[in-house]
Amino acid sequence: MFQDNRGKRIIFLAHCVCNQNSISDGTATFSGTNETVLRLLLDAKIGIVQLPCPEMNCLGLDRGDKEGANRPLLEENSRIRNALIQTDAKRILELLVQQASFQIKEYIHYGFEIIGIIGINRSPSCGINTTSKDNAEVEGKGVFFEMLAEELSRCGFNIPILGIKDSEPEQTKESIIRLLNE
Ligand code: SF4
């Protein structure tokens, strides 16, 4: 099966790498996409899967508070984190994790290579190395990626998960090049 032109190499990206319009009010860095990341991936000729934006799906575009952008960033991020761990939001997150992990399982089952999953550091949902909690940027994963990483580990998958920051283009570029060459 699948002996056509597809390269069978795939990367999963946090939603806002491809669509900055999903980001919480006041925090978008780019007008449309993180072009540095996308150019590297396009040049590598790999398939790109855009993960859902957990905050948008659980809390809406305004994250449940139209005044959110008026708060200091880490304070607002921490408020969002607390909203994501409430029962209703958690239920939606579980569905999103199931959908993402189903796709990953299917690709792995048919012998495709999952090159990695890219999240966004400091995000209360998609952070990998750092997240926002108690009004500070702290080590650890965001709520969505914590759940996704647990599910993948439960399935026995060892997929590289990389955290990037829109405000750190050089480090981002280097870490993605490293990931692509692993
Ligand atoms: S970091 Fe995650 S939750 Fe925040 S905008 Fe990007 S995809 Fe959505």
Q: Are 43 and 36 in contact (CB under 8 A)?
A: no
pLDDT higher than threshold 90 for residue 145: yes
Which pLDDT does position 34 carry in this prediction? Answer: 97
Please, what is the average pLDDT of the chain? 97
pLDDT in tens, 88-120: 999 999 999 999 999 999 999 999 999 999 999
126 lines ligand 1 (CB under 6 A): yes
User: Averaged over 114-130, what is the pLDDT?
Assistant: 98
77 within ligand 1 shell (Cβ under 6 A): no
Q: Which residue has the tokens 């599910």?
A: 151
Residues 6+ away with beta carbon under 8 Å from 77: 24, 122, 123, 124, 132
pLDDT of residue 141 exceeding 90, the answer is yes
Q: What is the pTM of this model?
A: 0.96
- Give, for ligand 1, the residue of 125, 144, 166 to mutate: max count of ligand atoms closer than 8 Å to Cβ: 125
pLDDT tens per residue across span 9-38? 999 999 999 999 999 999 999 999 999 999
Alpha helices in the chain (DSSP H): 15-18, 35-43, 54-59, 73-84, 87-109, 143-154, 169-181
86 CA to middle of ligand 1, Å?
Answer: 18
Pocket of ligand 1 contains residue 119 by CB under 6 Å? no
Whether 129 and 139 have beta carbons less than 8 Å apart is answered as yes
Q: What percent of the chain has pLDDT over 90?
A: 99
Mean pLDDT (whole number) for 66-88: 97
Residues 44, 31 contacting (CB under 8 angstroms): no
What percentage of the chain's residues is helix, strand, coil (to nearest 5)?
45, 15, 35
Q: Which of 57, 62, 118, 120 to mutate to test the pocket of ligand 1 (most atoms within 8 A of CB)?
A: 120
Predicted confidence at residue 182, as pLDDT, reads 82
Q: Is residue 127 lining ligand 1, measured as CB closer than 6 Å? A: no
Which residue has the least CA distance to atom 5 on ligand 1?
23
54 lines ligand 1 (CB under 6 A): yes
Residue with CA nearest ligand 1 atom 4: 23
Phi, psi of 155 (to 5 degrees): -85, -5
